[in-house]
Structure 1
Amino acid sequence: MRVFSLTGRRVVVTGAASGIGLAIARLFASSGASVALMDLNAEKVAEAAESIAADGAVAVGIACDVSNPESVEQAFAQVSQLLGAPADTLVNSAGIAHIGTIVTTTPADLDRLYNVNIRGTYLTMQAALKPMLAAGRGVIVNMASIAGSSGIPDRFAYSMTKGAVRSMTLSVARDTIAQGIRCNCISPARVHTPFVDGYLAKNYPGHEAEQMKVLAAAQPIGRMGEPDEIAQFALYLASDEAGFITGQDYYIDGGFMNLR
């Protein structure tokens, strides 16, 4: 019997057009799940879903603004229509970053981070939980960050939001454990995604390679994580093999939290 099989599962992955979300969607689909990819970028999420479906998996792309209640409601209604039933698994990977201290973070910055990272996680969990609670089973995996548990320079607003994701995860796990729901979160250190490449190109033009080494050295293991490494652990948490695990926050951090 295949380990970590998701055959028969219906999964929603937010922020799935690129990076960690896309890696999770690909892996879950290859593990037997029917996957609904959600992202604000309608064109990119459609292309991502098509590329996964081209390999013979069941994958659909759905445009969704996770910060907007109406958009979330419509997106989850589409999941039921396109996959034949509501999702029984949710992976919240949608999120945005911000660089700045409390002094340099504007109210507009704070609201923007809150709306996507906190409000978006709240809205998608709320939408996914209604049918999960009715069915008496379900799995939620949220993407938090080491920034939510450790002081990271120049990441005031981002750290605030990821700390909230961690707290929401624990609260949902507590409130739904008796109804057959498991809820956990993953806290990665720096992961090499398109966001990192864009950040370096914008802020260090011509010096990307040198700055990449600086970013890699922040992890004691000497490199950044890869999206597929986060996806593999998300697969475990979503699988039946993790059936005794709920209310946990897992560091995937190259030793950042404990070995610095």
Structure 2
Amino acid sequence: MQIHGSGALITGGASGLGLATARALAAAGAHVTLLDLPSSSGAEAAEELGGTFSPGDVTSAEDAANAVAAANEQAPLRIVVNCAGVATPAKVLNRDGTPAALADFERVVRINLIGTYNVTAQAAAVIAKNEATDSGDRGVIVNTASVAAFDGQIGQPAYASSKGGVHAMTLPIARELARYGIRVCTIAPGIMETPMLAGLPEAAQASLGEQVPYPARLGKPTEYAALVQSIVENDYLNGETIRLDGAIRMAPK
């Protein structure tokens, strides 16, 4: 899939993995549209990239459809990267032995899993109607899981299950959308240098990095973005979840 001249929609594009991806795709010649919350710095990020900001919530079908339409107006939408997500920790039982609030579990699953599915579905409906390239390609959708999908830690039942769901739906969606020339892949990042971790003390960040076999450091958002670009450009990558984690396997806690 050629990036130059293609329309690209990135959710969670105002910061972290999403912003790094938007920068990489814009540098490669894509027309980028960022979908992020109205309270985010999405407008500033879009201005920096010469792109478009579509404020909204990934769990809203209307907001997702509006973002897809905005992206398709700039250029034929061919690239979608779902980076929006939350990692709110919570155990099954509180310290007093009572069940944790169900609403907290539902919120994480709704944003990470249902939000990813929502944007994927809204985007696929539009990409499927766009003209195919000479090789029959119409687009590629890259979703974001996590190593927690496979190595979930204590306090991550909601996060791990939401990311496990993103991984699990990769192959069936890829198989369904194959008839339209749309590929679907997922990246499962390890411990990445995102705004979520940037607030930790340097010693804590270094300690986390040392848990990675090699290289013994946090992953960089630019490395995630580079993998996205590789997936987009490699037409034979489809239906696969790729771990980007320095060979880490998470301990129970």
Matches of 2:183 and 2:207, distance apart in 1: 37
Judge conservation of contact 1:188–1:252 (CA < 8 Å) in 2: yes
Task: Give a deviation string over 1:84-118, Cα, whole Å, max 9, x none.
Answer: 54x21100000011212222442111111022111
Q: Which runs of 5+ in 1 are unaligned?
A: 54-58, 201-207
One-letter identity of the residue aligned with 2:171: L
Distance in 2, Cα, partners of 1:253 & 1:43:
27
Specify the SS of the correspondent of 2:198. Answer: helix
Partner of residue 235, structure 1: 229
The aligned runs of 1:187-226 (5 Å cut-off) are: 187-198=188-199, 200=200, 208-221=201-214, 222-226=216-220
2:61–2:122 Cα contact (<8 Å) kept: no
Residue 36 of structure 1, CA deviation: 0.5
TM-score, normalised on structure 2?
A: 0.89
Which residue identity is paired with 1:213? A
- The aligned counterpart of 1:181 is 182
Q: Distance in 2 between matches of 1:111 and 1:151?
A: 17
SS class of match (1:153): coil
CA deviation profile, 1:124-146 (whole Å, cap 9, x unmatched): 00110012222352100001100
CA distance in 2, matches of 1:112, 1:188: 21
Mapped partners of 1:28, 1:175: distance in 2: 26
Aligned partner of 1:64 in structure 2 is 56
Q: Choose which of 44, 52, 55 in structure 2 pairs with 1:47.
A: 44
Q: CA–CA distance in 1 between the matches of 2:75 and 2:189?
A: 33
Identical-residue share of aligned pairs (%) = 34
| 1:1-260 → structure 2 map (5 Å cutoff) | 6-42=3-39, 44-53=41-50, 59-81=51-73, 83-85=74-76, 87-104=77-94, 105-135=100-130, 137-198=138-199, 200=200, 208-221=201-214, 222-239=216-233, 242-257=234-249
Distance, in Å, in 1 between the alignment partners of 2:113 and 2:104 is 13
Shift of 1:244: 0.9
SS state at 1:97 partner: coil
Amino acid paired to 1:35: V
Instruction: Using the TM superposition, give the Cα deviation of residue 42 of structure 1 relative to its aligned residue in structure 2, in angstroms.
Output: 4.8
Q: Which runs of 5+ in 2 are unaligned?
A: 95-99, 133-137
Q: Which amino acid aligns with 2:190?
A: A
Number of matched pairs: 238
Query: Cα deviation per residue 1:148-190 (whole Å; 9 max; x = unaligned)?
Result: 1123232111001000011121221111123211100000101
**Residue identity matched to 1:113:** V
Letter in 1 for 2:114: R
Q: Partner of 2:41: helix, strand, or coil?
A: helix
**Matched position secondary structure for 1:38:** strand
Distance in 1 separating the partners of 2:123 and 2:31: 15
| In 1: Cα distance, 2:90 partner to 2:40 partner | 31
Matched residue type, 1:88: R
CA distance in 1, matches of 2:75, 2:151: 42
TM-score, length basis structure 1: 0.86
